[in-house]
Amino acid sequence: MKTSFYYCFLTILLSAASSIAQTSISGVVNDYTAVNDIDCDNVLTVADAGAFAAGDKVMLVQMQGATIDLSNSSSFGTITDFGSAGQYEINEVSSSATGTVGLLFALENTYDFSAAVQLVRIPVYESALVTDTLTCPAWDGSTGGIIAFIVSGELIMEAPIIATGKGFSGGEEINYPDSCPVGLSFSGYRTSVESGNGAPKGAGLAVVGDSQRGGRGKLANGGGGGNDHNAGGGGGSLGASGGNGGERIESFFSCPGPGYGLPGFVPDNSNAANRIYLGGGGGCGHGNNGNGSAGGNGGGIIFIKAGSMDGNGQLLAANGTSSANANGDGAGGGGAGGTLLLDIGGISSDVLVELRGGNGGSVTGIACTGPGGGGSGGLVRHTGSSLPAGIFIDYAGGTAGTTLTAASDCYEDSNGATNGAIGITQNEWPLLEADLLFTNEFATVTSDTTLCEGSSVTLNAAGGSSYSWSPVTGLSDATIANPICTITETTAYVVTVTNAAGCSDTAAVTVTIAPGISATAGPDTSICGAGQVQFFASGGDSYLWSPGDGVSDITSDAPTVFVTSTTDYVVTVDNGVCSATDTVSVEVLDLPVLITNSDTTLCAGQPIILSVGGAVAYSWEPAGSVPCPDCSIMEVTPAATTTYTVTGINTDGCESTVSFTVTVEICNSIDAFSEYAIMLYPNPAKDALFIQSAKPWQEDVALVIFDALGKQVQALVLPASNSFHRIDTGELPNGSYLLQIDGSAVHTFMVQH
């Protein structure tokens, strides 16, 4: 029983606490003031600071100020430079005094304070309950047009939030009783609003004087007014394009009205631009009978930042308003839908969103005067990747007006007036909230740096919109934020940084010049054949060798390197500031390729010619076994088996060594030919070797020639009864050869071409 009582009591307490934290809101919750300037202490000069206090969240936003094409052509009113129009940010008040409001955070954007900048106080609630219609005053050229609030917890809607018609105003109705004096129409795109040649344009992101505010040309996103005679006004634009106004259908000299109002220019709605706009006003229809209609107003801006929202099926609306019907005169264009800015975590029940374009005015009476064009749909911006489920959006464009009188020849015809286009949604909106605390010391610059003599460095300043460096010595451009510095001696620079408010601050940086270094990789060298060398580099604190193949340690000053082919090695030497390179070349010289005898077997007492080629100097071992230790060719008669070693040196001084063994055996078969006293000549042979015996052969004799590797290269037969025979050696390569006679007797000879 006690436990139940405790939980009941706790529930009552929590319910009471929730009720206390929840704030009921309705009517107008924002305060507004025009902003005229900002000083170097981040303090705004405002028309009225009375409603602002330290700690207040505020939105600073520039409502107008775009630059437009002013030519008297269809391009009139096209935005050529947005300037700061539409730029905004969320900031916080740091101080408030008569006529001034200080901001806590440095501005994220630049603003033209001569062009309709306003400051909007944004109330912040823990939890909020909309109990009756929440709204705002209409934009009056200085302030208004915006509903903005923040709820850290849950926003509960039990009533609508409405900014319909709170945006840019439609072109006002002016009657021109003296228009069409000679039965002809006016075709210009700009004219004085007093001239009667064209009705007033709808208001938009640009402002012009009354001398250019009349006529069919658009005025930024405001629709153009209908021209004389009785043409309809164009629709305002925002999320897309508004519609064209309609013509007055009449014969040439009977006051026709082909000069329909053009739709407003569609502003840059991209997240990259990240600007916010009011819906453009519709252009006024041209009238001379006192029965024309003004253009519709554009929708305002609604900004809601909330942890969550309980919509309860309520309405968020920033529609453009429709133009009234005209009787016998031109009708106005509809205003464009406005902007909804959402940063919400989720929705627990549905909410309806309307950012519809206003309808163009229709016409009554039998004259075929021009109806108005529809305003475009508005724009939804949301910080998430997609809108939460439960938000239902209607941002249809307004419909064009028509002729409503059945007796008219133009009954139910729009006379060329067109509907406004549907609006758009931009997800992943980068809500701009200033978060860098303001300080007068806003200039920043690169840290002091040390530069190697002969090198360059980029100096980086920031914090402003213009820069001036002193001294200018060694700088590529002393008027930019990031000049390139190339100097020969240590220099201290001061940069003066000026921000968008015209405030200046300075920062200093010293560039110290360090003397250059000299890298030494060591002398070039050469080696005979692949092998190992050692490098000895100097000049710095760290080293890096390239290429690294075969290098024992590419970061050592004295690595060993195994080199297989001629290579240039580059060492980069660094002392922490400066670096330098040097190259050492290692040439790998060819070893001589020696051509000499191969292992051979002789009969005792038989001579052999030792020969070698492929080098320029030779040395034989054992020296006592040869008659000429440094000859390239000689005849020897070894008494016993002997291993001969010959070393050859080429012109580069590189040497190779080859060994072969001559085996000496007792051969009875030699006696079988001793009586013939065989001679071979010339030896060395060139094109032919001649074999001659002391007497003719008694029978055919087989001859076989082997090269120094023991490979048979020729075989032939000496016919019986001959004692002389020619052997062709022209095709044999240079080298030593063995001639075997009848499978036993062996003789050696050389071929040298």
- Tell me which amino acid residue 195 is: S
Mean pLDDT is lowest, of 65-69, 264-268, 673-677, for 673-677
Q: Could you tell me where the DSSP H helices lie in 227-289?
A: none
Burial class from Cβ neighbours inside 10 Å (0-12, 13-18, 19+) for residue 521 reads buried
Q: Which residue has the tokens 């609630």?
A: 125
Residue 569 pLDDT greater than 50, yes or no: yes
Question: Where in the chain are the domains?
Answer: 23-145, 444-513, 525-585, 595-665, 678-751
Model pLDDT, residue 3: 42
Fold: same for 444-513 and 678-751: yes
Mean pLDDT is lowest, of 32-46, 534-548, 601-615, 732-746, for 732-746
Model pLDDT, residue 141: 98
272's CB contacts (< 8 A; 6+ apart) are: none
Strand-pair category, 461-462 with 484-485: unpaired
pLDDT tens track for 502-511: 889 999 999 9
pLDDT tens track for 316-355: 999 999 999 999 999 999 999 999 999 999 999 999 999 9
pLDDT tens track for 388-435: 999 999 999 999 999 999 999 999 999 999 999 999 999 999 999 999
Domain 678-751 in CATH 2.60.40.3080? The answer is yes
Give the residues across from 583 on adjacent strands: 570
Model pLDDT, residue 454: 85
CB 232 within 8 A of CB 324: no
Residue 366 pLDDT greater than 70, yes or no: yes
CA-nearest of 247, 425, 249 to 341 is 425
640's CB contacts (< 8 A; 6+ apart) are: 664
Instruction: Count the residues in the chain.
Output: 753
Residue 689 pLDDT greater than 70, yes or no: yes
State the average pLDDT over residues 200-217.
99
| The model's pTM | 0.68
- Tell me which amino acid residue 107 is: L
CA-nearest of 116, 8, 114 to 61 is 116
Model pLDDT, residue 20: 47
What is the greatest pairwise CA distance in the chain? 153
d(CA 56, CA 149): 11
Model pLDDT, residue 244: 99
Model pLDDT, residue 184: 84
Domain 595-665 in CATH 2.70.210.12? The answer is no
CB 373 within 8 A of CB 245: yes
Residue 36 pLDDT greater than 70, yes or no: yes
Model pLDDT, residue 304: 99
Model pLDDT, residue 668: 47
Cis peptide before 622 (omega within 30 of 0): yes
**145 alpha-carbon distance from chain centroid:** 38
Model pLDDT, residue 744: 64
> Is pLDDT larger for residue 191 or for residue 180?
191
137's CB contacts (< 8 A; 6+ apart) are: 28, 32, 143, 144, 145, 166
Helix or strand or coil: residue 209? coil
Cis peptide before 682 (omega within 30 of 0): yes
Provide the token pair at 383: 């910080």
603 band by pLDDT with thresholds 50, 70 and 90: confident
> Is pLDDT larger for residue 736 or for residue 541?
541
Residue 464 pLDDT greater than 80, yes or no: yes
Q: What is the mean pLDDT of the chain?
A: 93
* DSSP characters over 549-588: TTBS-TT-SS-EEEESS-EEEEEEEE-SS-EEEEEEEEEE
pLDDT tens track for 175-187: 999 888 878 899 9
Cα-based distances in Å from 663 to 67, 156, 470, 608, 666: 109, 115, 94, 11, 10
Residue 4 pLDDT greater than 60, yes or no: no
d(CA 269, CA 280): 14
CB 63 within 8 A of CB 203: no
674 band by pLDDT with thresholds 50, 70 and 90: low
d(CA 119, CA 141): 13
d(CA 150, CA 137): 19
State the average pLDDT over residues 20-40.
93
Model pLDDT, residue 667: 60
Provide the token pair at 671: 């006696």
CB 681 within 8 A of CB 739: no
Helix or strand or coil: residue 671? helix
Cα-based distances in Å from 643 to 168, 634, 648, 664, 746: 114, 16, 16, 11, 19
Model pLDDT, residue 248: 97
State the average pLDDT over residues 608-635.
93
615 band by pLDDT with thresholds 50, 70 and 90: very high
State the average pLDDT over residues 206-211.
98
Domain 444-513, CATH class in plain words: mainly beta
CB 377 within 8 A of CB 396: yes
Q: Which residue has the tokens 């706790």?
A: 10
253's CB contacts (< 8 A; 6+ apart) are: 183, 184
CB 293 within 8 A of CB 173: yes
Model pLDDT, residue 683: 85
Residue 725 pLDDT greater than 90, yes or no: no
pLDDT tens track for 57-78: 999 999 999 999 999 999 999 9
Helix or strand or coil: residue 485? strand
Model pLDDT, residue 215: 98
Domain 23-145, CATH class in plain words: mainly beta
d(CA 446, CA 703): 93
pLDDT tens track for 89-136: 999 999 999 999 999 999 999 999 999 999 999 999 999 999 999 999
CA-nearest of 401, 353, 404, 352 to 375 is 401
Burial class from Cβ neighbours inside 10 Å (0-12, 13-18, 19+) for residue 159 reads middle
Cis peptide before 263 (omega within 30 of 0): no
Handedness of CA 22, 24, 28, 31 (dihedral sign): negative
**392 alpha-carbon distance from chain centroid:** 37
CA-nearest of 341, 455, 358 to 397 is 358
> Order of strands, edge to edge, in the sheet holding 701-707?
712-718, 701-707, 735-741, 745-751
d(CA 671, CA 616): 40
Residue 15 pLDDT greater than 70, yes or no: no
Phi/psi for 669 (5° steps) reads -65, -20
State the average pLDDT over residues 630-637.
91
708 band by pLDDT with thresholds 50, 70 and 90: low
CB 89 within 8 A of CB 108: yes
